[in-house]
Amino acid sequence: MDNEARAAVPEVVISKRRSVIGKCKLFLVVTPFLLGGCVDTIFGCRDDLLTDVTTSPDGRYKAVTRECGCGASTSTYILTAVVAQGQQESCKALREHWVASMRASTHGGDPSRVETHWIDRSNLLVRLEHRQLYDLDNYRRDNQGQLYDVPGPNITVHSDL
């Protein structure tokens, strides 16, 4: 019987090791989903449409407003961009292909409180919450750092919501 008990011990140890390894695999798969905000860094960041996409009066451009960024590692921000009519509308595409753009902080404000209105074919009005901080960019920089005007509409910002 003593030999039988010794032979059974390795099987029990191997069985427990397999059980522990299986639980660790399950933990590694489930943990990212439980962490919520950290999932953004693994699977991609927020890219929420905040207002309707509006087409310019001449039909050549569109204004797109999104909440972009990762809440886990960096703060989110509002991005309104004027892009060509056929351009994709993701945050990445807006950052790369804008004709004019406005980036506003979401700190302490409601990101859904933003409005866009075309004044005419070359001017877009963006209305933000009162005291909202923003960066407006109607010009681009070339490789030497010189500003140049991008053909197309400009953005005007009013903080009056």
Three-class DSSP labels, 41-108 = HHHCCEEEECCCCEECCCCCEEEEEEEEECCCCCCCEEEEEEEECCCCCCHHHHHHHCCEEEEEECCC
pLDDT of residue 51: 84
pLDDT of residue 121: 92
**Sequence spans of domains, the chain:** 2-39, 45-159
The model carries a pTM of: 0.66
pLDDT values of the chain reduced to their tens digit, one per residue, 161 residues? 555 555 555 555 555 556 656 655 545 544 444 444 444 444 457 678 888 899 999 999 999 999 888 766 667 888 999 999 999 999 989 988 888 999 988 765 666 678 999 999 999 999 988 777 889 988 876 667 777 777 888 999 998 87
